[in-house]
């Protein structure tokens, strides 16, 4: 029995051992299989990655190809547009040439039919191109009549209805601008024959040789024709062709020459200067006619200007009926349509600058405490994008300034309110009663229709304020544009705003 049990145990142990051996061999084989599978898997992954990279490269190549096609299409389209433009320009030039040829044929036919017309044209040209001395004599005769009228009315300072005030338009070769300026003046002047006599137009052309450029040729032809077609227009030409270093020097020299002709040679008492790139408002002449007596009554006023440097719609009185009759004294010469006197010319002509003549009239040492009158709403529109002024400055600060577009009845306006000390006293009361604020309070508290004042410490502080509100910030010798005693007034969101210095020298 014991022996049987031992045999059974041996058999069982043997079987178990066989099983273990089998399992061991099986597991070893399986491990090898797994290793083979893992190797195959890695191979497949590697091949998959290679395939993905190939696909990405292919997609990138496709995208590059698409971009190239787009660029080519754009270039083709752009070339088409350029060709179309060139074709249009060519057709226009061809049409213009054909028109010119037709006109020449018509002119030839007319000249062949009527030689008398040709003689008349020659006579008119000879009349216009007569020498400057003859023109000066004509103006002298006109001015003698003007002086006689003044002597007859010398007991009444406010009676200036008979005073002749020539309109001086300095120009060079910008025919397109000058033509618009002349048309805007003639439109309001020539409806009244008295105004034709009161406001003769003197166009002063700086030396412009037709050999220099086509613009000079065009300008000379225009000036020849305008003297024939309109009454009360005289052309003076400055024949000084000395070379200057810049356009600013040329302009300054020209202004001095023109003022010398009108003030010194012709002895006019006043002159209304209109730059050749301004379009005037319907009430332009009435405005100067009304305010002109101020120059006789108050010798602390040296000019009356039609321009507001901060005259954008955002910064003027929203009440148009009030704004049209609002005028201010300013220490900063505005220019751009301005009336001045022979008396002031005598004071300043000896030291006339070689360039920057307008900044010369902004120097405290030159104006000696005198001021100008300026309007709330400008009476001129500056159209001179192309000129001495920087185009960025024009677009940023000048282009948006609005001008009055309606006739104005000045019969009830009292100019006495612009005289001192009345003007300063009224301003002092307004500033005293104004609410002192910080700039942010206007938006924060929603101020409307109030009189507010904001303090600035120095010129740099003022420039920061001006930039914050969008005003033109440049200054001349610490005198701000539009300012009076360094006080700058403007409207903002229906509020009257004063920028005031720490101390006001009343």
3-state SS string for 343-399:
HHHHHHHHHCCCCCHHHHCCCHHHHCCCEEEEECCECEEECCCCCCCCHHHHHHHHC
pLDDT at 444 over 50: yes
Least confident window among 38-42, 83-87, 235-239, 487-491? 83-87
pLDDT value of residue 127: 46
Q: Confirm if 380 and 337 have CB atoms less than 8 A apart.
A: yes
Model confidence pTM above 0.85: no
Q: Confirm if 330 and 374 have CB atoms less than 8 A apart.
A: yes
pLDDT tens figures, 478-503: 899 999 999 999 999 999 999 999 99
In 296-357, the DSSP E strands lie at: 301-305, 327-330, 338-341
**Could you give phi then psi for residue 440, rounded to 5 degrees?**
-65, -20
Q: What percent of the chain stands above pLDDT 90?
A: 57
Q: Average pLDDT of the chain?
A: 83
- Averaged pLDDT for residues 239-252: 80
129 vs 331, which has greater pLDDT?
Answer: 331
Q: Which residue is associated with the tokens 């178990």?
A: 16
pLDDT value of residue 325: 98
222 vs 35, which has greater pLDDT?
Answer: 222
- Name the helix (H) or strand (E) containing 189: helix 175-189
Q: How far, in Å, are 10, 135, 143, 295, 368 from residue 267 at the CA level?
A: 151, 14, 7, 17, 24
pLDDT band at 118; cut points 50, 70, 90 = very low
pLDDT value of residue 76: 72
pLDDT value of residue 239: 82
- Structure tokens given for 436: 């002192």
- Structure tokens given for 227: 């003297």
Least confident window among 83-92, 128-137, 370-379? 128-137
pLDDT band at 27; cut points 50, 70, 90 = low
Strand partners, 454: 499
pLDDT at 417 over 50: yes
């Amino acid at each position: 029995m014991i022996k049987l049990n031992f045999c059974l145990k041996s058999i069982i142990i043997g079987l178990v051992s066989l099983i273990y051996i089998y399992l061991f061999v099986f597991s070893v084989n399986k491990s090898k299989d797994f290793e083979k599978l893992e190797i195959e898997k890695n191979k497949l992954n590697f091949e998959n990655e290679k395939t993905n990279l190939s696909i990405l490269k292919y997609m990138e190549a496709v995208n590059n190809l698409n971009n190239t096609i787009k660029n080519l299409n754009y270039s083709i389209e752009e070339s088409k547009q350029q060709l179309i433009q060139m074709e249009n320009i060519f057709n226009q030039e061809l049409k213009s040439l054909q028109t010119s040829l037709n006109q020449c044929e018509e002119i030839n036919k007319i000249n062949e039919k009527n030689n008398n017309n040709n003689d008349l044209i020659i006579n008119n040209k000879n009349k216009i191109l007569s020498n400057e001395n003859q023109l000066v004599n004509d103006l002298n005769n006109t001015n003698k009549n003007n002086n006689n009228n003044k002597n007859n009315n010398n007991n009444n300072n406010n009676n200036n209805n008979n005073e002749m005030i020539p309109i001086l338009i300095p120009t060079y070769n910008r025919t397109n601008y000058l033509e618009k300026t002349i048309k805007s003046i003639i439109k309001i002047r020539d409806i009244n024959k008295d105004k034709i006599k009161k406001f003769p137009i003197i166009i002063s052309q700086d030396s412009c040789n037709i050999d220099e450029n086509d613009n000079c040729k065009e300008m000379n032809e225009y000036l020849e024709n305008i003297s024939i077609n309109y009454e009360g227009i005289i052309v003076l030409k400055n024949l000084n062709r000395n070379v200057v270093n810049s356009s600013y020097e040329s302009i300054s020299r020209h202004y001095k020459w023109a003022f010398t002709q009108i003030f010194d040679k012709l002895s006019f008492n006043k002159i209304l200067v209109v730059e050749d790139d301004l379009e005037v408002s319907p009430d332009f002449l009435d405005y100067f006619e009304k305010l002109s007596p101020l120059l006789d009554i108050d010798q602390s006023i040296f000019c009356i200007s039609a321009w507001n440097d901060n005259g954008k719609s955002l910064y003027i009185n929203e009440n148009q009926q009030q704004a049209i009759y609002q005028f201010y004294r300013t220490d900063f010469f505005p220019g751009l349509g301005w009336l001045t006197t022979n008396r002031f010319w005598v004071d300043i002509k000896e030291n006339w600058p070689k360039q920057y003549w307008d900044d010369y009239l902004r120097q405290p040492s030159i104006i000696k405490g005198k001021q100008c009158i300026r309007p709330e709403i400008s009476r001129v529109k500056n159209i001179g994008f192309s000129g001495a002024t920087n185009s960025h400055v024009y677009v940023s600060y000048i282009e948006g300034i609005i001008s009055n577009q309606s006739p104005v009845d000045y019969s009830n306006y009292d100019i006495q309110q612009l005289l001192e000390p009345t003007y300063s006293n009224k301003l002092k009361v307004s500033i005293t009663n104004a609410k002192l604020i910080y700039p942010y309070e206007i938006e924060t508290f929603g101020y409307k229709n109030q009189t507010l004042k904001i303090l600035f410490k120095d010129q740099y502080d003022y420039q920061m304020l001006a930039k914050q509100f969008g005003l033109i910030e440049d200054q001349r010798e610490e005198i701000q544009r539009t300012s009076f005693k360094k006080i700058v007034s403007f409207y903002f969101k229906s509020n009257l705003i004063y920028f005031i210095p720490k101390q006001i020298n009343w």
